[in-house]
Chains A and B, each alone.
Chain A
Amino acid sequence: MSVITIDQASRWYGNVVAVNGISMTVRPGVTGLLGPNGAGKTTLIALMSGFVAPSAGTVTLDGEPIWRHTDAYRTIGLVPERELSFGYLTGRQFVLANAELHGLADPGAAAERALEVVEMTEPAGRRIGTYSKGMRQRVKLASALVHDPSVLLLDEPFNGVDPRQRLHLMSLLRRMGAEGRTVLFSSHILEEVEQVARQIEVMVSGRHAASGDFGQIRRLMTDRPVQYVVVGDDDRALAGALIAEPSVVAVALRRAGGVDVSVSDFGAFTVRLPQVARQHGIRILELTPTDESLESVFAYLVGG
């Protein structure tokens, strides 16, 4: 059982702050690190894996600082976002080299076991240069698993992996978390994170925006003011009816037709809209959320 503790850690490069005063504790089980691209997830994982020194604060593994602590890699398995540039090696040679570097007693057997776990035994004889993105991703995972680490850090592990392999990888991560390993992976896709992780940490613009189980995060993300455009066959009547609803905070008629609606309670609005339309005999022709991009969700989380 290993615990990573980040205490008020910041990292800046010149004037750019990549990670800003983050404190979190990563415990056994699966933790999802969620955030849009450029949020600082890669830097945070680099801090946790000893490949970036904190400019301020501390990052420790079981009480020991990770930076410049070579022995920490007996405990940590890292799957970086970086591409494998060892194109001249076969998958098997690469995983075997990783096993040897860990000084394992039987590196050959460990390499085969790791390749089996990621279902790469069959193509392992081919050169990495010939692999698809998903295969390279799995070989990277095999190389991180080869020494049976109690901490597994993965940076965007599902990128470029086909749907079937994605499910397999997800169940693998869940299993490793259930075994008591400390697993942390980053992603910019909420659905991906909540399928695997119980605990979710949200990062936006280098800051720790939210923390909790996936239910809490999901509620935070959905219980926020949402903008919709509703087009009906009688927009003025529709606007009048909607402003009477407690879940609606503002309406405005659009010049081109339709009504801009600001909704404070997303759940209640979705239930009430069809009822209101029926009561007033209005036919709804179109319903479009206007700010559903993940960035706006994250921006809300930071602001709120």
Chain B
Amino acid sequence: MNPTILRLSAQALLGRRRGVVLVLIPAVLLVLAVVVQALTDDAVGYDAVLHLGFTLALPLVALLAATAVLGPEVDDGSIVYLLSKPVSRHVIAASKYVVAWAATVVLGALPLLVAGLVLDTSDPRQAIAWGVGGAVAGTAYTALFLGLAAFTRHAVVIGLLFALLWEGVLGNVLDGIRWVAIGAWGREVATEISSKVPAQGIGLGYAVVAAALVTCGSLWFTGDRLRSFTLRGDE
């Protein structure tokens, strides 16, 4: 971990317009939770709000955080100022990841827990389950999207398609996708904490190992891409 890169990445995350959007997403989720709680009977809207938060808000926050710490610098080539230093590219990748991961946990996973508590104060265990499941999924999402940002300039679009189409629409239609969907791995972990979260049937061990593999693999890939970063001239 490199403290200078941690600091610069945090400043890049908070100092731009993206930072506002990042805060807006969980804010909308929480407002929704409050409204649903006020307008419906006990826990009626619970599943709807938490599913929305888990399948839409969480990957969106991870995508925005991951691309904010790396994307603009890669796009405009100014990452060359960081890379022209004798710092391991994997350390740079890991440092940027930590910042994006912290944002994802605080603004993506934690709001799931809070929303759960708002909607049903009598069942904190289920709220914690959603929060922990969100943190596990967020950990893998952030790493995957960081790798995507290091790989292509179109990381936001591809990330959105992945989150909405692959994990969202197709994940609902095609049962087998749960084996290769990050969201399903997170839910599996949540099921382990509270049985009220629908089980995915892939096993806790598989879910944790798959999430860890995607996280580590994506981080290694990000570092390797940075090592081969090519500066395109204007000519």
Contacts and interface: CB of A to CB of B under 8 A. Distances in A.
Contact of A88 (B15, B229, B231, B234): B15
B2 interface: yes
Given A76-B84, A98-B85, A52 B231 contact: yes
Interface stretch (B86-94, B117-125, B131-139, B164-172): B86-94
A221 interface: no
Contacts of A73: 84-86
Contacts of A60: none
A85 B5 contact: no
Given A40-B235, A85-B73, A88-B11, A49 B230 contact: no
Contact of A18 (B80, B89, B233): B233
A39 interface: yes
Nearest to B78: A85
A300 B15 CA distance: 51
Contacts of A78: 80, 84
Contact of B76 (A46, A85, A101): A85
B81 A70 contact: no
Nearest to B80: A80
Contact of A49 (B78, B84, B89, B227): B84
Given A68-B227, A85-B73, A97-B8, A143 B81 contact: yes
B82 A101 contact: yes
Nearest to B72: A85
A51 B85 contact: no
A73 B234 CA distance: 23
Interface string B221-235: 000000111111111
Given A42-B233, A53-B228, A81-B234, A101 B78 contact: no
Given A46-B231, A70-B86, A83 B80 contact: no
A76 B3 CA distance: 22
Interface in A72-102: 72-74, 76-78, 80-86, 88-89, 97-98, 100-102
Q: Which 6 A-B pairs have the closest CB atoms?
A: A42-B233, A51-B231, A101-B85, A88-B15, A85-B78, A100-B4
26 contacts: A13-B232, A42-B231, A42-B234, A42-B235, A46-B230, A46-B233, A51-B229, A71-B86, A73-B84, A73-B86, A76-B84, A80-B81, A80-B231, A81-B233, A82-B76, A82-B80, A83-B76, A84-B78, A86-B78, A88-B12, A89-B11, A97-B4, A97-B7, A101-B4, A103-B87, A143-B81
